[in-house]
Structure 1
Amino acid sequence: MSDAYVALEGGSVVAARCRAPGTSHGELVFTTAYTGYEESLTDPSYEEQVLTFSYPLIGNYGVRSERFESGRVHPRAVVARELTDDVAEWLTEEGVPAVDRLDTRDLVGEIREGGAMKCGVSAGPDASPEDAKAALAECPGMSDYTDIGAQVSVSAQKTYPGDGDADTEVALVDCGAKESIVKSLVERGATVHVLPYDVSPGEVSDLAPDVLFISNGPGDPANFEAAESLVSEFVGEVPLAGICLGQQIIARALGGSTAKMDFGHRGVNQPVRDLRSEKVVMTTQNHGYTVADPGDLEVTQVNVNDDTPEGLESDDLRVLTRQYHPEANPGPNDTLGFFDDVLDMVDCRTPVAAD
């Protein structure tokens, strides 16, 4: 007899085994990653989503906090073919419902056919299909989370001194930043000021940064109006960089537009082609929205599978963005040079004057 249920937006209910009890709801998405489950589960970009792992066994090398990308698990629930006890115990401690022993191949196929969808999850000794359906009925759409940034951002500035003698100052707007982004910049000598997602232009000016960096994060980029306004304020005055959601926000601020994808890109084997060199690299990705119109920016890299923009640039405006995650946690490491390229923009900057 089943003690867990997943109710899908299309009307079906899938029976499963409870691995961490609870009732929740969210947007049902899947990742094809076969490693990096700790990084995925602590990635703030999964906030308000239910994460399905397509790889059949999750947890086969344990759980180690040094691999975490934030201080907590972000998906509202977790679905897998089989979860090890280590992962199940971790999710139980985190209060995140988790289920396994269901056909994730069929579930992923349904998401690919119908797109990312709302779902409800009920797990535990008293779980029922009706509880899962009730949770589903309460689930908003991703665009309805109009202040999702507040759930994942720092509430006050945090500063991380750079390694070595470099004096580069990066103002990183935290829309849900992974810790490995900060680490990648610090390791290259940059001092990183992590700022709230709704930081004001005046607060950024007071820092007089060498680079303004917009991070990754969850949800619809249209709901990050403060970060978009910040980009509009400083474009042309200070080099701009962005990753994932950050690319989308920067494109919107510079006359472009974004759109929701059917089921997004989530995994560690997404091929990206550079339009200048024709070189193809493998990348880590986690996003459900994409740039539909780059506005004032040039598309320099595209996804090999669907031609969606993976890199945007402007030499005149000193803008450099990537849709994928070049910090490469859990990997591959093909694109780590992005952070060097971002810091190289400092040489041609016009400093932002402090008020």
Structure 2
Amino acid sequence: MSDAYIAVEGGRVVEARARAPGTTRGELVFTTAYTGYEESLTDPSYEEQILTFSYPLIGNYGVREERFESDHVQPNGVVSRELTDDVAEWLESEGVPAVDHLDTRDLVTSIRDEGAKKCGIAAGPDATEEDALAELEKCEHMSDHTDIGAQVSVGEQVTYNEDGDGASVALVDCGAKGSIIDSLLERDAVVTVLPYDATEDDVAAVDPDLLFVSNGPGDPENFERAESLVDAYVGETPIAGICLGQQVVANALGGSTEKMEFGHRGVNQPVRDLRTDRVVMTTQNHGYSVAEPGDLEVTQVNVNDDTPEGLENDDLDVITRQYHPEANPGPHDSLDFFDDVLAMTQ
């Protein structure tokens, strides 16, 4: 007998087994990554989403805090074909509902064919189909989460490697993965992490050599303050961005963004560099993409759908990437992005 239910926009209800009890709601998305579940589950870009794993077994190498990308689980709920006890207990301890023992292949195929959808989950001994439907009824579209940055950003400024000799980086935290900060610190940068709603005065007080806009969840159009910082500093200070950061930079420089049908989430996305014709495999996690690049040149594209993966403007010292060069999890084909970004400060 089932003790968990997933109500999906459009009227479908899927029965499952409860592994971490509770009710929740969010945008139903999937990742094709077969490793790195700890990193995925702590990636702030999954805020307000229900994460479905296409790989059938999640948890087969335990749970280790040193692999976390933030200090807590970020998705609102988790769906898997099978969760190990280690992961289920971790999710329960964090209060994140989780279910398994369902056909995730069918669920993933429906997302791929019909797009990401709103959903509601009810899990536990007293859970009912009506509970899941009630959660679905309350679920909002991602673009409606107008202040989602407040849920994932630091509350106040913090500086790492304060005595370092490297470039000074002002990192606008729209939901930054810890590995992005680590990648900069490994290159001896002095990294000052600023809240997503930092002002021009906040950045001016840092007097950075580089303005860096991080990844994050939701619609880039809802990060207006970060966009205004790019607009204020472009042409004066080198600018970089990853994932949501690329979208924010593009919007600031006359471009536009759009919601994707089901997004890119996984560790095997092929990206082609238009200047070198080299193809690299990349880690990705985004549901929005740049539609028009504005004042930026498209330098890299996704091999599967031709969406922009790299934008640059050599005259303005701007470099952005839609994928995650820091990986974790995933291939390290693009770690030289951080070298290229910091080279703009010299």
TM range (shorter): over 0.9
1:263 offset after TM fit, Å?
Answer: 0.1
Which whole-Å CA distance do the structure 2 matches of 1:132 and 1:319 have between them? 45
Residues 1:326 and 2:330 aligned together = no
Equivalent positions of 1:343-354 (< 5 A) are 343-347=342-346
Match of 1:275 in 2: 274
Match of 1:21 in 2: 21
Match of 2:222 in 1: 223
Residues 1:335 and 2:334 aligned together = yes
Equivalent positions of 1:242-253 (< 5 A) are 242-253=241-252
Contact 1:162/1:185, CA 8 A, preserved across alignment: no
Match of 1:86 in 2: 86
**What SS does structure 1 have at the residue aligned with 2:134?**
helix
Match of 2:116 in 1: 116
1:196 offset after TM fit, Å?
Answer: 0.2
Which whole-Å CA distance do the structure 2 matches of 1:91 and 1:284 have between them? 23
Which whole-Å CA distance do the structure 2 matches of 1:186 and 1:166 have between them? 11
Gaps of 5+ in 1: 348-355
Contact 2:250/2:256, CA 8 A, preserved across alignment: yes
Match of 1:9 in 2: 9
Which string of whole-angstrom CA distances, capped at 9 and with x for unpartnered residues, describes residues 263-302 of structure 1? 0000000000000100000000000000000000000000
Which whole-Å CA distance do the structure 1 matches of 2:118 and 2:100 have between them? 18
Supply the AA of the counterpart residue of 1:195. L
Match of 2:141 in 1: 141
Gaps of 5+ in 2: none
1:328 offset after TM fit, Å?
Answer: 1.2
Which whole-Å CA distance do the structure 2 matches of 1:206 and 1:194 have between them? 13
1:167 offset after TM fit, Å?
Answer: 3.1
**What SS does structure 1 have at the residue aligned with 2:344?**
helix
Residues 1:300 and 2:299 aligned together = yes
Contact 1:142/1:220, CA 8 A, preserved across alignment: yes
Match of 1:65 in 2: 65
Which whole-Å CA distance do the structure 2 matches of 1:114 and 1:277 have between them? 35
Which string of whole-angstrom CA distances, capped at 9 and with x for unpartnered residues, describes residues 229-259 of structure 1? 0100000000000000000000000000000
1:162 offset after TM fit, Å?
Answer: 6.5
Which whole-Å CA distance do the structure 2 matches of 1:305 and 1:12 have between them? 29
Number of matched pairs:
346
Which string of whole-angstrom CA distances, capped at 9 and with x for unpartnered residues, describes residues 291-317 of structure 1? 000000000000000000000000001
CA RMSD across the alignment: 0.8
Contact 2:166/2:187, CA 8 A, preserved across alignment: no
1:166 offset after TM fit, Å?
Answer: 2.6
Contact 1:272/1:301, CA 8 A, preserved across alignment: yes
Equivalent positions of 1:125-204 (< 5 A) are 125-161=125-161, 166-204=165-203
What TM-score results when the alignment is normalised by the length of structure 1? 0.97
1:189 offset after TM fit, Å?
Answer: 0.6
- The percentage of aligned residue pairs carrying the same residue is 75
Residues 1:257 and 2:256 aligned together = yes
1:119 offset after TM fit, Å?
Answer: 0.2
Which whole-Å CA distance do the structure 1 matches of 2:20 and 2:108 have between them? 21
**What SS does structure 1 have at the residue aligned with 2:315?**
coil
Contact 2:220/2:248, CA 8 A, preserved across alignment: yes
Contact 2:3/2:124, CA 8 A, preserved across alignment: yes
Supply the AA of the counterpart residue of 2:329. P
Which string of whole-angstrom CA distances, capped at 9 and with x for unpartnered residues, describes residues 31-76 of structure 1? 0000000000000000000000000000000000000000010100
Contact 1:162/1:188, CA 8 A, preserved across alignment: no
Runs of 4+ in 1 over 3 A off after TM superposition: none
**What SS does structure 2 have at the residue aligned with 1:40?**
helix
What TM-score results when the alignment is normalised by the length of structure 2? 0.99
Which whole-Å CA distance do the structure 2 matches of 1:104 and 1:120 have between them? 16
Supply the AA of the counterpart residue of 1:205. A
Contact 2:156/2:195, CA 8 A, preserved across alignment: yes
**What SS does structure 1 have at the residue aligned with 2:99?**
strand
**What SS does structure 2 have at the residue aligned with 1:73?**
coil
Contact 1:162/1:187, CA 8 A, preserved across alignment: no
